[in-house]
Chain A
Amino acid sequence: MDLNTVLSKTPDAAYRVYDGLATIVLPSRSEVNVLNPVASLVWDAIDGRRTLAEILESVLRDYEVPREEATRDLLEFVNALRAQGMVN
């Protein structure tokens, strides 16, 4: 996976955002995940249209973090989402 990747949320995932925190329910795994604010921003932006590079720019606009570090964290996070079946 690289920054050109476009991801979609799995249709299985039910979610809402409370106080900027995405709360995601995966029925098939009986799991509820509450993401931190940066991860929530990324989750909310995954829409089947935007590339990870575009999502990275949103993160950098909202948070003061070195680009290299943000890129690494973003790729790590979306890989984890994919491994859990939350995005494809």
Chain B
Amino acid sequence: MATPLEQLVTRNWNNAVPMSALFELTFVCNHACSFCYNCPTGQKEMNTAEVFDALRKMAEFNVLYLTLSGGEPLVRRDFFEIAARARELGFALRIYTNGYLIDEAMAKKIKQIANPVEIEISLHGGTPETHDRLTCVPGSFRKIVSAVRFLRAEGIKVNFKTPVTRDNQGEVLEMERLAHELDVRIQFDTVITPRDDGDKDPLRLMATDDFLEKFWTDDAYRTARKEEVPLPRHDGPGEAVCGTGRSSFAIDPYGNIYPCVQLRRKAGNIKELENLRDMWRSSPVLIEVRKIAVDVAQKTLKTVQNGNQCGFCMGVAEVQLGDPTAIYPQIAKNAEYRAKAYNAWKERTGRSDEDAGGVQTKCAM
């Protein structure tokens, strides 16, 4: 029996009522990660008044969860003005940051003004050498470790987000230990994405096949992957592959609105809209994206090998291969090893799909 919250989320998902949005406040960043997907265009970013106006429109559109992201959102001098306005407007905030600027005083200010549901911090290695090499900022590892301690002292929930690359794959277990020691959750992402402009250079950092196989099949990584066994997806009739243009949307620092943070098809610009509601219902981009998302779940993933083990992202497929329905090599490789682990588990335990303990969570952002 689904809980009232689960029923509400399902109903909103089916009716394409977005409960969350991601707002990239700036593309400016104090790190220089080689695999970053952001592509600043040099346009003027929204000023405080424009950001406030965008927040008002999102609140009127009934968005509940708002992620303040970047670039690095905390480099904006008006960050706390923005956070305060967002709270006044009734948003539940998440902040996605590299943590570099968070000292004790800022952690207190974050708690007092933004009072976020959680903060997500990028962790790129289990040692200072690896993390600092990937961010290109000496001392960044030490800074984020202390940032997490300050945030936890304020009672703020923290999640580490970690793209696994061939440079840090050897430290996954160390990163997990660090997260445990700091009392934070850690989420590893084994799929590296191209830049938003299609530049595939970050893909050279993709974790090795040997590592991916170990990650998905070796018991040593069981807690790191958060699943006893890689859960298959079960897309029911008419269901979409993910929440792109459906459960959420994203806004860049110039005000452009996208179906999600990864799928950069412009649906409009929030500065030019009277309200989001009309655009949300009538935008040809969003209508098409929702249809493709259903097609991917109902056709593509039901026909390709290991389709039910693909945490498929239409945005990556589009930017990398020019086709939002195409299977990209990173996802195929991950799905292959996930399926191998899953089939071995079934053979070993004699249990069925239904016993796996759930289904793969769909991407809602």
Is the pair B8, A18 in contact by a Cβ cutoff of 8 Å? yes
Chain A stretch 1-37: residues in CB contact (< 8 A) with chain B: 11-12, 14-19, 21, 23, 25, 27-28, 30, 32-34, 36
Q: Is B115 an interface residue (CB 8 A)?
A: yes
| Interface size in chain A (residues, C-beta < 8 A) | 18
Question: B residues within 8 A CB of A25?
Answer: 64-65, 92, 117
Is the pair B117, A30 in contact by a Cβ cutoff of 8 Å? yes
Is the pair A23, B90 in contact by a Cβ cutoff of 8 Å? no
Q: Is B234 an interface residue (CB 8 A)?
A: no
Question: A residues within 8 A CB of B3?
Answer: 34
A-side interface mostly: strand
Chain B stretch 47-75: residues in CB contact (< 8 A) with chain A: 62-65
With A21-B4, A23-B5 known to touch, is A12 a contact of B64 (CB < 8 Å)? no
Is the pair B64, A27 in contact by a Cβ cutoff of 8 Å? no
Is the pair A19, B11 in contact by a Cβ cutoff of 8 Å? yes
Indicate the member of A14, A17, A34 with the most B CB atoms within 10 Å.
Answer: A14
With A12-B115, A14-B90, A18-B62 known to touch, is A34 a contact of B155 (CB < 8 Å)? no
Is the pair A28, B115 in contact by a Cβ cutoff of 8 Å? yes
Is the pair A14, B92 in contact by a Cβ cutoff of 8 Å? yes
Q: Chain B interface: which size bin?
A: 20 to 34
Per-residue interface assignment for chain A, residues 28 to 62, with 1 indicating a CB less than 8 Å from any chain B CB and 0 otherwise = 10101110100000000000000000000000000
Question: B residues within 8 A CB of A11?
Answer: 87
Question: B residues within 8 A CB of A23?
Answer: 5, 8, 19, 64
Chain B stretch 274-323: residues in CB contact (< 8 A) with chain A: none
How near does chain A come to B345, taking the closest CB pair, in angstroms? 31
Task: State A12–B78 Cα separation when bound (angstroms).
Answer: 21
How near does chain A come to B65, taking the closest CB pair, in angstroms? 8
**Interface residue from B90, B93, B155 paired with A15 (Cβ < 8 Å):** B90
Question: B residues within 8 A CB of A12?
Answer: 115
With A12-B115, A21-B4 known to touch, is A30 a contact of B157 (CB < 8 Å)? yes
Task: State A80–B28 Cα separation when bound (angstroms).
Answer: 45
Question: B residues within 8 A CB of A32?
Answer: 5
Per-residue interface assignment for chain B, residues 142 to 172, with 1 indicating a CB less than 8 Å from any chain A CB and 0 otherwise = 0000000000000101000000000000000
Q: Is B208 an interface residue (CB 8 A)?
A: no
Task: State A23–B92 Cα separation when bound (angstroms).
Answer: 11
How near does chain B come to A10, taking the closest CB pair, in angstroms? 10
**Interface residue from A16, A28, A30, A36 paired with B64 (Cβ < 8 Å):** A16
How near does chain A come to B125, taking the closest CB pair, in angstroms? 28
Q: Is B17 an interface residue (CB 8 A)?
A: yes
In chain A, what residue has the closest Cβ to B62?
A: A16
How near does chain A come to B312, taking the closest CB pair, in angstroms? 27
Task: State A20–B64 Cα separation when bound (angstroms).
Answer: 15
Chain B stretch 1-40: residues in CB contact (< 8 A) with chain A: 3-5, 7-8, 11-12, 17, 19
Q: Which residues from chain A sit less than 8 Å from chain B, CB to CB?
A: 11-12, 14-19, 21, 23, 25, 27-28, 30, 32-34, 36
Sample of 5 A–B contacts (CB below 8 Å): A14-B90, A14-B91, A16-B64, A18-B19, A19-B8
> Given known contacts A19-B8, A34-B5, what 12 new A-B pairs fall within 8 Å (CB)?
A14-B64, A14-B90, A16-B64, A18-B11, A18-B62, A19-B11, A23-B19, A25-B92, A27-B93, A27-B116, A30-B118, A34-B3
